Amino acid sequence: MRTLTSYSRFLLILIFLSAVSVANAAAKPGGRLIVIRVANFGWNVAANLKIDGQTVANIVQGRRYDHRIPAGRHVLTISAVPNIVLGQATSITVNVRPGGTYIFTALWDSDHVYLRPTALSPAEMAKLGL
């Protein structure tokens, strides 16, 4: 009987600690980052997206990057892969606020790729399924 009580107490403490951990994670909300790849980017070229130096996606034709990222200052870097013209990667800094949505368009311009902030209306966002 005593072993069962000790086990139950241990289980309750473990559940409580897990709940506190989940609550702390939920208390630090981030923002939503969407990167749209333009249609004329190239059929055999992907847009390589890095956040703070870490590759998070290779955005191919017909796809987009749409994920939550932590609040704070982040450096977004975009480049073409494969890099057949040896163009330079370009970067832009974004200050993500909790609950904010940040939409960028990956564009190709002669010899380099860059991100342009996009201001879409609610109707345009709904049309794109955002």
Residue 90 has pLDDT above 60, yes or no: yes
- In the predicted model, is pLDDT for residue 128 greater than 80? no
* Predicted model pTM: 0.71
At residue 18, does pLDDT exceed 80? no
Instruction: Please state the rounded mean pLDDT for residues 12-35.
Output: 66
pLDDT in tens, 92-124: 999 999 999 999 999 887 777 889 998 776 677
The average confidence (pLDDT) of the chain is 80
pLDDT bucket at 81, cuts 50 / 70 / 90: confident
pLDDT reading at 14 higher than 60: no
Long-range pairs for 68-72: beta carbons < 8 A, 24 or more residues apart: 68/30, 68/31, 68/32, 68/33, 69/30, 69/31, 69/32, 69/33, 69/96, 70/28, 70/30, 70/96, 71/28, 71/29, 71/30, 71/31, 71/96, 71/97, 71/98, 72/96
